[in-house]
Amino acid sequence: MRVAILGGSFDPIHLGHIAIAENALQQLEVDEIWFLPSHKTPLKSRDLTSDEDRLNMLYLATEDNPKFKVCTIEMERQGISYTVDTLRALKEIYPAYTFYWMIGNDQLEQFSAWKEPDEICKLAHVVAYNRDGKICKTSYPIQSMYMKDVPVSSSDIRVGNKLNYLNPKVLDYIYDHRLYVKNFVKTRVKEKRYLHTLSVAKLCEEIAKANGLDVQKAYYVGLFHDIAKSMPVDEMAKWMEIICPENMHYAYGVWHGFVGSEIVDRIFGINDFQIKNAIYHHVLGTSDDPYAMVVFCADKLDPLRGYEVQPMIDICKRNIYEGFYLEKEENAKYVKEHY
């Protein structure tokens, strides 16, 4: 059996990883590709997403190809994952197997810092794939392989960029389990706005639960309601001209709702109508959909705003329709004065 191993944190796995595996099947003529997630990576200081979540995403991303397998030996061993220790263990379990250890150019650049790099090259055929079109030189007996560059990294994904480079099932899992999603927002708004966003998302959950609504949907309405708030006006205007030129007569302080409703779909891959609709209408309160009502009220009644809000929050929890129409009356006065 000839097996090519692709190790890494897979936090999360993306189509760049899959492309390497598919190329290896053809170029190395191996029988199987094993994806080998680490428990703890020695050259990375940040905390990884849980083993369970990273493993579940791996299974989802690889389940459609019978030649793709997931090897959990490093997660089972716990502790820091050293490649040389893993290869020794695999050779003991599968003495007749020929192993290929695949790395990217970023790993090749620091290969000398790995534990016992010379021994790694004896235990497996090490193969390095280009990254950003580059392969650095090395004194180790490592085979260089070239493939069409897939311009994505797991760090891109973790801040909400290039989500189209995810298997749709993995993206659904990320949203279902709320992985990385706070960073999607944090990297796009100012700190005060980010804290407001988290507070509104929490309040949306509370109001939705009290009214028998979908708590997860309400959370994402709250989390993304101000996603376009920090966008420069000229950039926001470009979006407005495309998606709803009929609304450009509103002051630009209102635009972020209209633009945000498209951003959650086109950039973040959330095409739920109620989520989009709620964000679209959250500034002016012009929709009577219950999720639009929830975020409209939660936005105006955010406890971080510094004025007395609990009596109105209690009303919204008791009956969102009653709370919405009372709060809308108050907001109409504000909009008349400011917009």
pLDDT band at residue 232, thresholds of 50, 70 and 90? Answer: very high
Is the confidence at residue 199, as pLDDT, over 70? yes
Q: Which two tokens stand for residue 315?
A: 């009303």
**Measuring CA to CA, which residue among 35, 39, 8 is closest to residue 21?**
35
Percent of the chain residues past pLDDT 90, beyond the cut: 88
Q: Under a CB-based contact definition with an 8 Å cutoff, are residues 58 and 11 in contact?
A: no
- Give the tens place of pLDDT for each residue, 181-191: 999 999 999 99
Is the confidence at residue 134, as pLDDT, over 90? no
Residues in CB range of 116: below 8 A, 6 or more apart: 84
pLDDT mean over 233-257:
96
pLDDT the model gives residue 338: 67
Q: Where are the alpha helices (DSSP H) in 187-319?
A: 191-210, 215-224, 233-243, 252-266, 273-281, 290-300, 310-318
User: Is the Cα torsion angle 322, 323, 326, 327 positive or negative in sign?
Assistant: negative
Cα 267 to chain center, whole Å?
A: 11
pLDDT band at residue 108, thresholds of 50, 70 and 90? Answer: very high
pLDDT the model gives residue 132: 74
**Measuring CA to CA, which residue among 71, 1, 6, 7 is closest to residue 29?**
1
Burial of 196 from C-beta contacts in 10 A (0-12 / 13-18 / 19+) = buried
Q: Under a CB-based contact definition with an 8 Å cutoff, are residues 138 and 108 in contact?
A: yes
Least confident of 105-109, 112-116, 291-295: 105-109
pLDDT the model gives residue 207: 98
What pTM value is reported for the model? 0.94
Is pLDDT larger for residue 118 or for residue 149?
118
pLDDT mean over 253-276:
97
Is the confidence at residue 120, as pLDDT, over 80? yes
Percent of the chain residues past pLDDT 70, beyond the cut: 97
pLDDT the model gives residue 78: 77
pLDDT the model gives residue 150: 93
pLDDT the model gives residue 115: 94
Is the confidence at residue 44, as pLDDT, over 70? no
Q: Quote the mean pLDDT of the chain.
A: 94
Least confident of 49-53, 135-139, 244-248: 135-139
pLDDT band at residue 84, thresholds of 50, 70 and 90? Answer: very high
**Cβ atoms within 10 Å, residue 286:** 12
pLDDT mean over 108-134:
92
pLDDT the model gives residue 41: 72
Q: Under a CB-based contact definition with an 8 Å cutoff, are residues 87 and 120 in contact?
A: yes
End-to-end CA distance of the chain: 70
Cα separation, 1 vs 154, whole angstroms: 30
Cα separation, 80 vs 77, whole angstroms: 9
Cα 141 to chain center, whole Å?
A: 36
Cα separation, 265 vs 260, whole angstroms: 9
Run of H or E residues at 282: none
pLDDT the model gives residue 337: 74
- Give the tens place of pLDDT for each residue, 135-175: 889 999 999 999 998 999 999 999 999 999 999 999 999 99
Is the confidence at residue 52, as pLDDT, over 90? yes
Run of H or E residues at 32: strand 32-37
Cα separation, 232 vs 71, whole angstroms: 46
